[in-house]
Amino acid sequence: MDGRTTVTMEDIKMVAPMALRLRRSAFMIQYFREQSREEEEMRKILDSLS
């Protein structure tokens, strides 16, 4: 954002709490559950084709 092309540890420390907090939200927990269910359904379909 400030024109740099490299990331520092301080950059990571600054944004990590925001990114990690989002991953722990109820919305994201539900999203990951739905993704897992969809992946399992696709796996079953693909397995039935072989």
* pLDDT tens string 11-49: 999 999 988 887 778 888 899 899 999 999 999 999 999
DSSP 1-50: --S-SS--HHHHHHHHHHHHHHHTSHHHHHHHHHHHHHHHHHHHHHHHT-
pTM over 0.75: no
What's the distance, CA 21 to chain centroid?
12
Among positive and negative, which fits the CA dihedral 32, 33, 36, 41? negative
Backbone φ and ψ of 8, nearest 5°: -105, 165
Give the C-alpha separation, 35 to 23, whole Å: 14
pLDDT at 13: 94
pLDDT at 18: 87
